[in-house]
Structure 1
Amino acid sequence: MDILRDFDQNFEKAKRAILEANKNDLKLLVFPETFISGYYKSSIKKVSDRLSYYFDQLCFMSREYKIDIYGTFPLKENANIYNCGFYFSEGSCIARYKKIHLIEVMGEKDIFSEGKEAVVAESNLIGRVGLAICYDLRFPELFRKVSINSKVTIVSAMWPKTRIEHWKTLLRARSIENQCFVIGVNRVGSDKNNLYPGNSLIFDPYGTPILECDNLEGLYFCDVDLSVVERFRKDFNVLADRRIFSL
């Protein structure tokens, strides 16, 4: 989706997407990074102040439509604000992931504080799901950590057009090296600093794209057979051969 300065419009678009997802019997819906506030400082403060409202609405819709929902919000805790991924399932938020890697060159550290812990959501609908946000994609250690305990990792992103080939390559690499599905959801549109070309993707454990999206706002979906992960890891168990060492 395109993320506007008007956060109320953004949330209305998100609700329409959830309704459409329900009509198509989807089990998991992933939104781009900061899909309500964007990186607009005025919106970040207002959305963080109203977080309980969005929280209650998404909890209700996840229960009403029997769908898991993942997206990131600005979370205020004491004097800090975190770029936090919330995973909603069956009427509650079952996992929160505070973005660990913040991109200094784009001023993210001027807005948000760093998270400290890797997170895997445990969903009754989907199973175990690793959580990541945008710039995290450049740090394979996080993906290895969560993939050991999950079959799919989702990446909510606001990735600019200037580095979109990195986005595609890194998503594929994370799927191959961890033998898991990787779902990358990127925003479209633009702000004063960047163009965002979408190119949301799903890669299977072999690194094959099973969904490739364009640069238009909309709902894109496909079937994901998580049993493929277990079969592939059994037949060609790369993860069992890994060695942990320090230099």
Structure 2
Amino acid sequence: MKVAAIQINLEFGNPEANRAKVVEMIEKAARELPDVIVLPEMWNTSFSLKNLHEIADKEGEPTKTLIGNLAKKHRVNIVAGSVADRYGDQIYNRLYAIDRAGHVKAYYDKAHLIQQAREHEFLTAGTAASVFAMDGIPCGAIICYDIRFPELARTVALKGAKVLFIPAQWPETRIDHWKALAIARAIENQMYVVAVNRIGSEFKANFPGKSLVVDPWGKVLAESEDQETILYAEMDIDLVDRVRAKIPCFSDRNIKAYSL
């Protein structure tokens, strides 16, 4: 599986500009014939939380149509990062997984909201992990802050996922945590991790990119710098089975020891 991780700057509260940038970058990434293209977190609006009711998607549109048409045009799977998406009075930080035919295979709502950033005042938390197939390969997704909760990534792995996609807006002040946590999630779950961050600045936060692809041994296969770019990597999916057979962590789990 060849992956293309799109690392871009975002315009605060400007969905039209952000959609134009995403289209431009997907068109560019598609020239390299990846199997999967991945976008960062909240790329339609960024964290313009106070006016999300006006600028967020409405029941997945226009994102599902826009990204679906691009996926179908280029015959590529797209993990459409996440977008602010309104359903009635509820707004979700929602990720869509779209296949080569342009169909939505699955969605995932960010489960862990950052109270310090007041996300919980504007967004509704998701309540379910998501596992979906891309070209027959079981994949899962979590979003940004979710990476700090190993039980969520483990749930996805136990459901069969061999690749974990993590779109994010992760700040420079904690960028060492970003890399360490991505590697840890890969090692402990013996799976590939594709972690896609943004660049740019918003309020007092700087976003340095540092998107990365990690293999099941914890080896960093590719890592970006602080610039707008497309990060490419090849993933040998069979390696997941070989690693899990060599060190059978899942079958050696002692569930009785985990009760509080």
Q: TM-score range by the shorter chain?
A: over 0.9
Opposite residue 233 of structure 1, the aligned amino acid is R
**Cα distance in 1 between the residues matched to 2:62 and 2:87:** 16
Q: 2:19 aligns with which of 11, 14, 19?
A: 11
**Alpha carbons 2:52, 2:84 under 8 Å: kept:** no
Q: Deviations over 1:126-168 (max 9, x none)?
A: 6111110000000000000101211110100000111111111
Opposite residue 228 of structure 2, the aligned amino acid is E
Opposite residue 67 of structure 1, the aligned amino acid is V
CA apart distance, 1:50: 8.1
Q: 2:199 aligns with which of 188, 202, 209?
A: 188
Does residue 66 of structure 2 align to residue 48 of structure 1?
no
RCO higher in structure (CA 8 A, sep ≥6):
2
Q: CA RMSD, aligned part only?
A: 1.4
Residues 167-176 or 75-84, more deviating: 75-84
CA apart distance, 1:53: 2.1
Q: 1:177 aligns with which of 165, 188, 191?
A: 188
**Cα distance in 1 between the residues matched to 2:126 and 2:119:** 13
Q: 2:228 aligns with which of 206, 217, 221?
A: 217
CA apart distance, 1:3: 0.7
Q: 1:227 aligns with which of 230, 238, 258?
A: 238
**Cα distance in 1 between the residues matched to 2:64 and 2:204:** 29
**Cα distance in 2 between the residues matched to 1:216 and 1:43:** 27
**Cα distance in 1 between the residues matched to 2:59 and 2:152:** 30
Opposite residue 15 of structure 1, the aligned amino acid is V
Does residue 85 of structure 2 align to residue 69 of structure 1?
no
Residues 165-174 or 8-17, more deviating: 8-17
**Cα distance in 2 between the residues matched to 1:211 and 1:11:** 26
**Cα distance in 2 between the residues matched to 1:45 and 1:199:** 31
Instruction: Give the alignment's TM-score, normalised by structure 2.
Output: 0.91
- In structure 1, runs of 5+ residues without a counterpart are none
Count of matched residue pairs? 246
**Cα distance in 2 between the residues matched to 1:83 and 1:45:** 15
CA apart distance, 1:49: 3.6
1:133 corresponding residue in structure 2: 143
Residue 19 of structure 1 aligns to a residue whose secondary structure is helix
